[in-house]
Amino acid sequence: MAEFLMRQHKFKCDVRIGAAATTASAILDALVDLAIDSYDEALDTVWIHYSGHGTNIAGFSDNELDGFDECLVPSDFRLIPDDYIAKVLYYFNPHHGSP
């Protein structure tokens, strides 16, 4: 995927490989770093690819129609709920892609 994005679409890719990069804290740190980069580097497009396990758990809030939060399952099994990911994504530069 990284090779395709770099060659075909001229993306700058930050490829994280290895068990240390697949923990909950490493995933969240990478998302926060990318949110900062979306401002600092004036990124016009951000591509996030996750290849791993997911699950669902009883929802923490009443915003889920089915009552469950979907979660990423990192290698350290500290679940990352979709509500938390949404909060982090909220901090990405909202003006990316603007002329």
Could you tell me the pLDDT band of residue 2, with boundaries at 50, 70 and 90?
A: confident
Give me the pLDDT at residue 98, please.
Answer: 46
3-state SS, residue 73: strand
Could you tell me the pLDDT band of residue 17, with boundaries at 50, 70 and 90?
A: low
Q: What is the pLDDT of residues 30-77, one digit of tens each?
A: 899 888 888 887 777 788 888 889 999 887 777 777 878 899 999 999
The two three-digit tokens of residue 30, written as one number: 């990478």
The rounded mean pLDDT for the chain is 83
The two three-digit tokens of residue 6, written as one number: 């770099």
Could you list the beta-strand ranges (E) of 1-99.
Answer: 53-58, 68-73, 80-81
Residue 53: beta bridge partners? 73
